[in-house]
Amino acid sequence: MQKEEIEGKICELLKTRSQFNGDNIQLNCDLRDNYGIDSIALVELLIEIECEFDITVDSNLLTYECFSTGAAISDYVFKKLAV
Amino acid sequence: MGEKIIQNVPRFYEPHVSDCFHNALSAQLLNQGLNPNIILADYLSFLYDNETGFMGVNYLYKYNTSVEFTEEEMNTSFELVFFPVPEPFNREEKYKLSKDRLVVKMYLENDSDHAYKRLKELIDQNIPAVVAVDLFYMQYHKAYKKEHGLHYVVITGYNEEEGWYELFDKYRLSGSDFDGRLPIDEVRLARASDNPQNNVLMGEFTRPLQNVWSEVEIHNEFTIEKDSIIAVLEESCKRMGSQKRVLGYQCGFDAMDALLYDLENKKSEQLDERNLYLFKTYYNETFKTIARSRKRFKVFINEINVLFELQSEIANLLEESSRHWDICANLSLKLGITKKLLLLEDIINQLKEIKQIEINAVELMNKLSRG
């Protein structure tokens, strides 16, 4: 899967999870500050991403710090799919 | 009728605070020129009750049905703060203050007029008031008219003629970020609420707020002595080393072993409604709180930087431990949502790593306190 395609899907998923600014998802913005996605919503989002891309997020990386932007999530998914 | 506004009260918020009371009290302490990162440094610990499955840091995180506690229950966390038993406000009552501990008195008042009058007196004396409210009545919060919950805010002013309080609530961990005015009548309802609750573990219950508020009393020669700092380290080492019990519960590494044992047993249990609630809500919230306690202790260690050596090593270990507690919290939530019991193995492995990291941190703290 191309990186752009992954980013597009991540943006769509972020849009549905965002509390605000959902119409203007920027991949490099902090999810909590810009879209109101807290640590609970982030875990829910990552579960959705696991289903969407048929991957499993490494438990050791399951922190807000590792996935604080759409870009960080997209990069992770891209690397996972490339393995 | 009157108006009074206290200017320039620090709008404190740090993501490592233990709860909304800690955050509001920190603003009050800062306003008095005191450092909450040292004064409100609770001991590094871990508590577990294998009868109920509840855990905590220096007291168990459980679902209380009252805001009243015994003196022992009130005083398990801090070296530098004494909390007397909460009771109705009594103007004549004076506490014997010491130079090395400040007093934080919690007052209860079932008569809302009396509570209102005392709040006004505090603000008139330029003392910001830390008061409990039910979020159900706080129109700036997402829980407004939806969910009940005890919460602490800081009231800094009032205007009786126009009927408003000036207050702030910067506890962003629960989605608060308010700084403005609210109707006195609404805050009055919020302070006197019965605060009804309902969850899978407890069923329906209430936790009446009784207009609870706190007042800080400080000896005019209060100072933070090196001995008090060492006492925080020593007590933390004792608790983590399971050398004492707190409120009758196991502490430290023995308590972690008991939790690990119980989690191993859960592998063969049904994921019924109670267990799902435990993982999705109780473990998630509690592990998050413990993760913050490790960051808070790290902040304390860094604050005492000028006094001791070895801090950076301890601080790094606490940061790492906090990260693993945070992962445990997120894994618990994930398990609760996906119902994949396999994730329990990952939680157990994280807890084993935490235990080793914290053993290393406590060894260094022991050296620090002896040195």
Whether residues A62 and B338 touch (CB distance < 8 A) is answered with: no
Task: Check if A1 contacts B (Cβ < 8 Å).
Answer: no
List C-alpha distances in Å: B75 to B43, B78, B134: 11, 7, 25
The interface pTM score, or ipTM, of the predicted complex is 0.96
Q: How far apart are CA B146 and CA B137, in angstroms?
A: 9
Query: Domain residue spans in chain B?
Result: 3-41+78-217, 226-370
Query: Domain residue spans in chain A?
Result: 3-82
First vs last Cα of chain A: how many Å apart?
12
Question: Residue for token digits 């395609």?
Answer: A5
Contacting residues for B101 by C-beta, under 8 A, at least 6 apart: B79, B80, B81, B82
Class of the CATH-defined domain B3-41+78-217: alpha beta
List C-alpha distances in Å: B6 to B33, B159, B315: 15, 12, 37
List C-alpha distances in Å: B319 to A71, B105, B291, B299: 25, 32, 9, 10
Contact residues on chain B for A39, CB-CB shorter than 8 A: 288, 326, 329-330
Residue of A nearest to B323 (CA): A63
Half-sphere exposure of B75 (CA within 13 A, CB side): 16
Strands B81-82 and B178-183: unpaired
Burial class (CB in 10 A: 0-12, 13-18, 19+), B62: middle
The domain made up of A3-82 is a member of CATH 1.10.1200.10: yes
Residue of A nearest to B338 (CA): A47
Task: Check if A47 contacts B (Cβ < 8 Å).
Answer: yes
Q: Return the residue in A30, A59, A61 with the most chain B beta carbons within 10 A, the one to mutate for interface testing.
A: A59
CATH of span B226-370: 1.20.120
CA-based nearest distance B285→chain A, Å: 10
CA-based nearest distance B297→chain A, Å: 20
Q: Show the tokens assigned to B115.
A: 């509570």
Whether B28 contacts B216, CB under 8 Å? yes
Tens-level pLDDT at each residue, chain B (371 residues): 799 999 999 999 999 999 999 999 999 999 999 999 999 999 999 999 999 999 999 999 999 999 999 999 999 999 999 999 999 998 877 778 999 999 999 999 999 999 999 999 999 999 999 999 999 999 999 999 999 999 999 999 999 999 999 999 999 988 899 999 999 999 999 999 999 999 999 999 999 999 999 999 999 999 999 899 999 999 999 999 999 999 999 999 999 999 999 999 999 988 999 999 999 999 999 999 999 999 999 999 999 865 567 889 999 999 999 999 999 999 999 999 999 999 999 999 999 999 999 999 999 999 888 76
The radius of gyration of chain A from alpha carbons, rounded to an integer in Å, stands at: 12
Task: Check if A63 contacts B (Cβ < 8 Å).
Answer: yes
Q: How far apart are CA B252 and CA B237, in angstroms?
A: 9
Q: How far apart are CA A41 and CA B334, in angstroms?
A: 11
